Chain A
Amino acid sequence: MLDTLAQQLLLGLTNGMVFALIALGYTMVYGILEFINFAHGDVFMLSGFFALTLVGALGLQDAQGFALFAQLALVLVLASGFGALVNLLIDRLVYKPLRKAPKLAPLVSAIGVSFVLQNIGLIWGALPLDVFGGGGQPAAPKSFPALLPTDNLLGDAALTLQLKDVLVIGASLAVMTALFLLVTRTKLGMAMRATAQDPQAARLMGVDVDRVVAATFLVGGGLAGFAAVVYALYINTVYYQMGYQNGLYAFTAAVVGGIGNIPGAVLGGLLLGLVRAFSDQFIGAQWQPAVLFGILIVLLVFRPSGLLGSTAREKV
């Protein structure tokens, strides 16, 4: 029983980390623009395709030892960079021209961008590459090779702890710490927080709000790209709708934590991962969405602005 609990706790934490990484992108953009980037999950998805393409090109499935880890680190960095650039490109091409339009316009456009990106995913999956199984079935899930050894680090213990668990949790924590330092300790981070609280006043301090918005999309997209590699290493699959499903969960996590609140997104992501794991174990996987969104509704009835969200917007 205890082992089952520990196993689900581990599963919940690792899944929760992925949700948290994606949720950060939703919450940061919302914090600054008060806009839900519904295409954010699909940036995560495309980064997954990018990572798998890279794994194939580098021949990573046959690499071992130091070469494997060095190239895996390279894939992580490049996929983060890819996610960052795609996210920035979307902002400049689609959202920026609509900055002064009524709020519904960018929101509906984001849903449109989401469909466009999913179709790019389908086209990408149709490329005749070995890693895509020749590209004959673009919509089918593509298997992402299990690059990391699957031995139990705890030997014969009933609890299974694999290297990928350690890697997912460790790397995610490292990235979240870096983000925390960026936001609290750097000039850019201070400008981001100031812009989120009062963009007009930030401009009067000499902050180029447009550049802060660009930096926010870069950081959010980078986190989504990073999450995509972590997810692919963990779940061993990428498919064109993975952004829709995980994006919805991550968005829920951001709302549960208090949308616009950075620690809230991490808390919400971990909570969602844990609830999901335990509900699968003790209630049944078929009930997962009902349990998750049921909890969301109850929570929002009692705390409409989320766990860490401020109860009222402070406007003097």
Chain B
Amino acid sequence: MLVVESIRAAHGAIEVLHGISLRVQAGEIVTLIGANGAGKTTTLTCISGLHKPKAGRIAFEGKDLLPLPAHQIVTCGIAHCPEGRRVFPRLSVAENLALGAYTRSDKDEIRRDLDKIYGLFPVLLERRSQLAGTLSGGEQQMLAVGRAMMIRPRLLLLDEPSLGLAPLIVQRIFDVILELNRQGTTILLVEQNARMALKIASRAYVLETGSVIAEGTGAELLADPKVQAAYLGDG
């Protein structure tokens, strides 16, 4: 479904991705783990078009994404729920969700998806007329995921959805990720919480300073002593 082939990307003069390759098959949950600065977020921004790599190839369902601007990649069926949530703080919860459906014009289906998201996150329904900036961190994360789902993507890119959240909320977010996947959304997940990510992942890639250093199924990497030592804190 998604093919990323030896992409190289730089922030200014500093190259941060030295030829990353990865694949995501339809229906999978694939996770990227690795330390801060390994290039996980940059990989996602290259896929969604916010950052353009210097070299390499990115194709989604056979279509070359590199020449497309970010707002057109959205219409291909890729939603990117960015690091730090990035909800629109001075728009209401309902307006934030409406922006998720910005590219769509199927009114009845939008209504149905909105009901579905309010069903998954009842707190968003309660607070629909509140400004997003006044929500708690966990609520903002739910809004960010809901907003991305309003795009009705076939592939959802999730960047650090557990960052800074209480364990209970993290569990809730991961349950929702699994539920969305069961309903047919393919997921590419970037996570610092490697243990939780590997537990739900079909496959995983380990990134270190801009390169893929290991890959395998979630279970394989969980059992790998090197991964345990470096990322699971069992060393």
Contact = CB atoms under 8 A, between A and B. Distances in A.
A30 B42 CA distance: 29
A206 B95 contact: no
Contact of B71 (A197, A206, A310): A206
B71 A208 contact: yes
Main secondary structure on A side of the interface with B: helix
A121 to B, nearest CB: 37
Given A191-B102, A194-B99, A316-B140, A205 B87 contact: no
Interface string A289-316: 0000000000000000000001000101
B102 A203 contact: no
A207 interface: yes
Given A202-B99, A204-B50, A205-B100, A316 B70 contact: no
A198 B71 contact: no
A266 to B, nearest CB: 18
Contact of A314 (B49, B90, B148): B90
A201 interface: yes
A316 B88 CA distance: 10
B102 A193 contact: no
B82 A197 contact: no
B88 A198 contact: yes
A316 B90 CA distance: 12
B50 A200 contact: yes
Contacts of B72: 206
A205 B89 contact: no
A119 to B, nearest CB: 37
Which range holds the interface residue count of chain A? 20 to 34
A198 B85 CA distance: 11
B71 A209 contact: yes
Contacts of A205: 71, 74, 99-100, 102-103, 147, 151
A314 B131 CA distance: 12
Interface string A175-218: 00000000000010011011001101111111111000000000
Nearest to A310: B90
Interface string B83-105: 01111111100010011101100
B90 A193 contact: yes
Interface in B131-158: 133, 140, 147-148, 151
B75 A206 contact: yes
B140 A204 contact: no
Interface centre among A190, A201, A203, A205 (most CB of B within 10 A): A205
B80 interface: yes
Nearest to A187: B102
A190 B133 CA distance: 16
A194 B92 CA distance: 11
A312 to B, nearest CB: 11
B48 interface: yes
Contacts of A194: 88, 91, 99
A197 B86 CA distance: 10
A95 B45 CA distance: 26
Contacts of B82: 200-201, 204
B146 to A, nearest CB: 12
Given A200-B82, A316-B84, A316-B140, A207 B89 contact: no
A197 B140 CA distance: 15
Given A190-B98, A194-B99, A314-B133, A204 B84 contact: no
B213 to A, nearest CB: 29
A99 to B, nearest CB: 13
A190 B101 CA distance: 12
Given A206-B75, A209-B71, A201 B86 contact: yes
A240 B114 CA distance: 54
Interface string B52-93: 000000000000000001111011000110101111111100
20 contacts: A190-B91, A190-B95, A193-B90, A197-B90, A198-B88, A200-B50, A200-B82, A200-B86, A204-B70, A204-B74, A204-B148, A205-B71, A205-B102, A205-B103, A206-B102, A206-B151, A208-B69, A208-B71, A314-B89, A316-B86
Interface of B: 48-50, 69-72, 74-75, 79-80, 82, 84-91, 95, 98-100, 102-103, 133, 140, 147-148, 151
Interface of A: 187, 190-191, 193-194, 197-198, 200-209, 310, 314, 316
Given A194-B99, A316-B84, 16 more contacts: A190-B95, A193-B91, A197-B91, A198-B88, A200-B50, A201-B82, A201-B86, A202-B88, A204-B86, A205-B102, A205-B103, A205-B151, A206-B103, A207-B99, A208-B71, A209-B71
The 7 A-B pairs of least Cβ separation, nearest first, read A206-B103, A206-B74, A201-B86, A203-B70, A314-B89, A205-B99, A197-B88
